[in-house]
Structure 1
Amino acid sequence: MAKCEICGKDQIKGHRISINRSQVSRRANRKWKPNVKKVKIVENNGNVKSIYVCTRCMRANKVTRAI
């Protein structure tokens, strides 16, 4: 679910690092997910469609929201 259908932004995998006495002692797996919302948009031919869009694409006006 956590994928923008406009820009393709997806979740990123990495490590959560525990620092003890200025040394990296432990690593745990972790995921960073984008801020994705389900919104209704208006397509070029006038149809209304519901898709998942990240908030950065919404702020950049890459989609036209249906009211």
Structure 2
Amino acid sequence: MARCEICTKGTTTGRKLSINRSQVSKRAKRKVRANIQSKRILLDDGSYSKVKVCTTCLRTMKAMN
């Protein structure tokens, strides 16, 4: 299972609803997967490390720079 190495966000469960005439007629279980990307991150000592990060953490890291 894909999981963010920073915030540990992974797969969660949810429901898929079928709406017919403003009423819910069917409910089906589904998986909501996190948007995980593999990125190279520059460390403090000048070397690079490859990590799997979710896009929320990528946006946070981009704002910090």
**TM-score of the superposed pair, with normalisation by structure 2:** 0.74
> Which whole-Å CA distance do the structure 2 matches of 1:23 and 1:55 have between them?
34
* 1:9 equivalenced with 2:34 (yes/no): no
Matched to 2:54, the amino acid is: C
Matched to 2:8, the amino acid is: G
**TM-score of the superposed pair, with normalisation by structure 1:** 0.72
Q: 1:18: how far off?
A: 0.3
Q: 1:48: how far off?
A: 2.6
| Other-structure match for 1:37 | 37
Q: Structure 2: which 5+ residue stretches go unaligned?
A: none
RMSD over aligned Cα atoms? 1.9
Give the number of aligned pairs. 62
> Which whole-Å CA distance do the structure 2 matches of 1:44 and 1:9 have between them?
24
Deviations 1:30-58 (A, max 9, x none): 11111110011233454432110011111
Q: Which has the higher helix share?
A: 2
Q: Structure 1: which 5+ residue stretches go unaligned?
A: 63-67
